Amino acid sequence: MFNGVRVAVLIGTALLLSACAGQPEIPFDKSTAGDIKTIGIVTMSIPDQPSVRLASDIGQSFGLIGALVDAGMESSRNSQFWAEIDGAHNPPPALFAADMAAALREHGYDVKTIDVPKRDSGFLKTYPPAADGHVDAYLDVTFIGIGYGYMAAGIGKSTPYRPFAYVNCRLVRASDQQVLMQDLVFYNPVNGTSKIVTVTADPTYTFTDFDALHADPKKARDGMDDAFRQTAEAIANLLH
Amino acid sequence: MPSGNKAAAFALFVATGLAGCATAPPPPSPIVDLGTRQCPSVPDLAHPLALAFDPKEEKETTTPIGADTPCLQGDAGNSLYVVYVFPDTSVPYTVTVASNLLGGTMFAPRVVLYGEDGTPRRTFAGQDIVFRGTALSVLFRVHADERYLVVESDPRIVGRTSSEIREATMTRGATAYGRGYAIYYQIHTGSDTTLGFTYAHNGSLTVTLTPLPAK
């Protein structure tokens, strides 16, 4: 049953990526956006835990049975990785939120946190009125599919594990809910396209296989943290 | 006359056959020094290239940039440049200026928007320009007072080298044959490649105009 859920997540991720592919990229235009000084970061849609994924492997050649086997193996890798990086005591969502706020401040914005209870994946349908949040615009960041962690394009030493983070983001003006910026930002994408802001992986954090990742959890955690920081900076860079 | 037609037909046949055998030209070597070329200090806006535009779908205009491209003298040195004119339309659209990676050569773009009167209005350079896929690009909307798009090589970064890691997955079909049966299946593989390149005065540019959906 659990594996069935994982397979559904894999399919859901593929559907979500194809849905995002059709969204228009909207560039931020500071001169026409109005006076945007304070940005409210709404509660992000981000998986609680990272995933360690093989983007291609033999199991994919064997239909649903192969997918179930893959899902079981990935679940095992994820549990082991989560324990080794001590994720429970250093929750990645909180770290990314802090990185995002720091990156916006670096670009000269004041930042507030806007709590949105029980948010779903994907962008929010509506945003709080301007007077409620005391902000000029809302930054809505939603991770795509499994969101972040480590990815290897395939099996073998020529396709090592590297950190990844896949984000869809938009800036919405508080006064009239107009979308001022909208884009996809992927750190180390697999099959990146011209519609996605792509941030190349730092070669410092290269792990030839899962055993290598397992052998150095501190470096693995550092790599994920670095991916978060660079992703947040890439988002903030779209708002300068 | 008939023999002339036959000769022409034969020549066409041979040319077509040769074209079929032709391989893609090798990617250009990076031009990192424009030498002693004499260049004007202002771009010539009199003969701009028209940008393809369709109010219903995105359109691309691709331009090669090489040693014979016009040059410009700037504060940081000489550069090669291309001038485009924006379309006359009331339909809102975005502009993507993308420098395409050609082998180990990446045109180092700097984008300046000019008004009808030939004065510069806005400049995109440095951190404005980011990777989208394997192209180095900038995305923006045109203001009412902006008429010309000038894309020039940026001598501040020409000559620098860099690299990008690119990961991809591929799927190919295969068939296994047994006694009296055949099984078709798919093989999934991945690749992890480091692309090294040099920022250059030459390369290839693609400008894409994308109409924004009606609100």
C-alpha to C-alpha distance for B171 and B156, rounded to whole angstroms: 41
Q: Return the higher-pLDDT residue of B180 and B11.
A: B180
Q: Which residues pair with A150 in a beta bridge?
A: A52, A163
Q: What is the mean pLDDT of chain B?
A: 90
Q: What number is the average pLDDT over the span A103-118?
A: 94
Q: What number is the average pLDDT over the span A57-77?
A: 76
Per the document, the length of chain A is 240
Q: Give the best residue of A31, A56, A166 to mutate against chain B (max B CB count within 10 A).
A: A56
Contact check, Cβ <8 Å, A196/B132:
yes
- pLDDT value for B185: 79
Q: Return the higher-pLDDT residue of B182 and B116.
A: B116
- pLDDT value for A4: 47
pTM of the model: 0.87
Residues 6+ away with beta carbon under 8 Å from A95 = A225, A228
Is the pLDDT assigned to residue B7 strictly greater than 80?
no
- pLDDT value for A22: 72
**HEC-encoded secondary structure of chain B:** CHHHHHHHHHHHHHHHHHHHHCCCCCCCCCCCCCCCCCCCCCCCCCCCEECCCECCECEEEEEEECCCCCEEEECCEEEEEEEEECCCCCCCEEEEEEEEEECCEEECEEEEEECCCCCEEEEECHHHCEEECCEEEEEEECCCCCCEEEEEECCCCCCCEEEEEEEEEEEEEEEEEECCEEEEEEEEEEEEEEEEEEEECCEEEEEEEEECCCC
Contact check, Cβ <8 Å, B141/A29:
yes
Contact check, Cβ <8 Å, B164/A200:
yes
- pLDDT value for B176: 83
Min Cα distance A48 → chain B (Å) is: 25
CA distances from B94 to A45, B57, B60, B112, B142 (A): 28, 11, 12, 15, 7
Least-confidence region, from A61-70, B108-117, B177-186: A61-70
Q: What number is the average pLDDT over the span A213-218?
A: 93
Kindly state the tokens that stand for B11. Answer: 């020549």
Nearest to A27 among B135, B140, B163 (CB): B140
Closest listed residue to residue A142, CA positions, set A162, A171, A113, A163: A171
> What is the per-residue pLDDT across B142-193, written as a single tens digit (0 to 9) for each?
999 999 999 999 999 999 999 999 999 988 888 888 888 888 878 888 999 9
- pLDDT value for B191: 94
Contact check, Cβ <8 Å, B192/A153:
yes
Contact check, Cβ <8 Å, B190/A155:
yes
Contact check, Cβ <8 Å, B192/A158:
yes
- pLDDT value for A15: 46
Closest listed residue to residue A142, CA positions, set A173, A100, A170, A114: A170
Contact check, Cβ <8 Å, B167/A162:
yes
The crossing angle, in degrees rounded to 10, of helices A2-21 and A63-84 is: 90
User: Could you give the ipTM of this predicted complex?
Assistant: 0.86
B23 touches chain A (CB under 8 A): no
Nearest to A197 among B128, B132, B189 (CB): B132
A204 touches chain B (CB under 8 A): no
- pLDDT value for A5: 46
- Answer for the pair B102, B28: CB distance below 8 angstroms, yes or no: yes
**HEC-encoded secondary structure of chain A:** CHHHHHHHHHHHHHHHHHHHHCCCCECCCCCCCCCCCEEEEECCECCCCCEEEECCCHHHHHHHHHHHHHHHHHHHHHHHHHHHCCCCCCCHHHHHHHHHHHHHHHCCCEEEEECCCCCCCCCCCCCCCHHHHCCCEEEEEEEEEEEEEEEECCCCCCCCEEEEEEEEEEEEECCCCCEEEEEEEEECCECCCCCCEEECCCCCCCECCHHHHHHCHHHHHHHHHHHHHHHHHHHHHCCC
B57 touches chain A (CB under 8 A): no
Kindly state the tokens that stand for A26. Answer: 């909207």
Is the pLDDT assigned to residue B134 strictly greater than 80?
yes
- pLDDT value for B2: 45
A234 touches chain B (CB under 8 A): yes
Residues of B in contact with A201 (CB under 8 A): 165
As a whole-number percent, the residues of chain B with pLDDT over 90 amount to 74
B187 touches chain A (CB under 8 A): yes
Nearest to B168 among A29, A155, A190 (CB): A190
B21 touches chain A (CB under 8 A): no
Q: What number is the average pLDDT over the span B98-115?
A: 97
Residue A13 is which amino acid?
Answer: T
Least-confidence region, from A105-114, B27-36, B176-185: B176-185
As a whole-number percent, the residues of chain B with pLDDT over 70 amount to 89
- pLDDT value for A8: 47
Contact check, Cβ <8 Å, A57/B165:
no
Closest listed residue to residue B69, CA positions, set B156, B153, B157, B161: B153
User: Which residue is it, tokens 């040059």?
Assistant: B71
Nearest to A56 among B96, B137, B169 (CB): B169
B97 touches chain A (CB under 8 A): no
Is the pLDDT assigned to residue A120 strictly greater than 60?
yes
Contact check, Cβ <8 Å, B131/A203:
no
Residue A51 is which amino acid?
Answer: S
Cα of B202 vs its chain's centroid, Å? 10
- pLDDT value for B140: 97
Q: What number is the average pLDDT over the span B130-151?
A: 96
Contact check, Cβ <8 Å, A191/B190:
no
Q: Give the best residue of A191, A207, A208 to mutate against chain B (max B CB count within 10 A).
A: A191
Min Cα distance B56 → chain A (Å) is: 13
Nearest to A188 among B135, B167, B186 (CB): B167
Closest listed residue to residue A165, CA positions, set A75, A235, A231: A231
- Answer for the pair A181, A29: CB distance below 8 angstroms, yes or no: no
Q: What number is the average pLDDT over the span A204-223?
A: 94
Nearest to A191 among B96, B168, B189 (CB): B168
Is the pLDDT assigned to residue A69 strictly greater than 80?
no
Q: What number is the average pLDDT over the span A217-232?
A: 96
> What is the per-residue pLDDT across B49-70, written as a single tens digit (0 to 9) for each?
999 999 999 999 999 999 999 9
CA distances from B156 to B36, B132, B162, B197, B198 (A): 17, 21, 14, 16, 13
Is the pLDDT assigned to residue A3 strictly greater than 60?
no
Is the pLDDT assigned to residue A173 strictly greater than 80?
yes
C-alpha to C-alpha distance for A34 and A32, rounded to whole angstroms: 6
A57 touches chain B (CB under 8 A): yes
As a whole-number percent, the residues of chain A with pLDDT over 70 amount to 88
Residues of A in contact with B170 (CB under 8 A): 56
- pLDDT value for B182: 87
Q: What is the mean pLDDT of chain A?
A: 88
Nearest to B168 among A27, A54, A153 (CB): A153
- pLDDT value for B4: 52
